[in-house]
Structures are given as structure tokens and as C-alpha cells.
Amino acid sequence: MDYTVEQVDRVGEGLLALPAVEPSKRKLDKQAAIARLKDQIATVQQRGYTLEQIAQSMSGLGIQITTPTLKSYLQRARKPGSRRVAKTTRRLPSTPRREPGGPRMAEAERTTPPPPPKAAKPDATEGAAKSTRSEFIATDRERL
């Protein structure tokens, strides 16, 4: 089914007219719930509880989760470079990037030519590694 521009625009206006959802009533998936509880989980771990015990307690309290899933979600939540953290991190506008050869670069750095690249020496073990790898792959295929 096709839609007219007018119909789509009306739907867009209707969506923008929806009231904001109260933050405490937002729905969280299991991974977001664990990310929100990571500090409390860490505190309970410091008290001597294992992840298995914590997962069992969480299941009894209303969040059904297995130990491996809990462990995985905690690892994702604790990663400093996780996607959720990367989206919220912004570079401050007061820290300009320096481009090579830019105005802040010293005169000596601009006039000194870079050293020539070093030529790679052929390695005698390289051929042996390739043959070992292909032999390994061949034996794996036989097993399958």
C-alpha cells in the first residue's frame, strides 16, 4: 500500500504530539536493566555473593536471568568503549584537533623529511607457517 505525503505528514505530526513518557515508567530490556543495576550488583559481589547467587536472587525478585547472561551483560555494561557510552560521549569544543603541518606545529617538524621506510626481510619460517596452516586446515576437513 502506498501513502500520500499528506498522510505521512499527518502521522509525523501525530507522533510529535504524543506526550513524553514518564522516565520511571520507561520499559527496559534485560540488558538495560542489568546496566542500570551494575553498581548494586558490584556491591553485592563485594559482600561475597557469586554471580550465580545474584542471578538466582534476581530471578526470585522478578528479573529472570541465567548466570551466563548476567555475566555477559555485566561485561558489556562495564566496558568503557561500549556503544551506549560512545553515543553519549562528546568532544569538548574547546579542544581543537591538531592537523599535521598545522599552525601549532614547530618549524623544525615541518621541514624535517620523514625517515625512509625499512625494507622487510624475507622470513624463512614464513613458508613453514603456511604449510603448517594448510595441513591443519586439511586435517580439520577430514574430521568433519
pLDDT in tens, 24-44: 889 999 999 999 999 999 999
pLDDT at 71 over 80: yes
- Look up residue 22 and give its three cell numbers: 514518564
pLDDT confidence tier of residue 79, bands split at 50, 70 and 90: confident
Which pLDDT score is estimated for 86? 44
End-to-end CA distance of the chain: 49
Which pLDDT score is estimated for 43? 96
Are residues 74 and 32 in contact, defined by beta-carbon separation less than 8 angstroms? no
For residue 101, CA distances in Å to 108, 109, 116 come to 11, 8, 19
**Structural domain boundaries in the chain:** 27-86
Q: Give the predicted TM-score (pTM) of the model.
A: 0.47
- Look up residue 125 and give its three cell numbers: 619460517
Which pLDDT score is estimated for 115? 67
Which pLDDT score is estimated for 33? 94
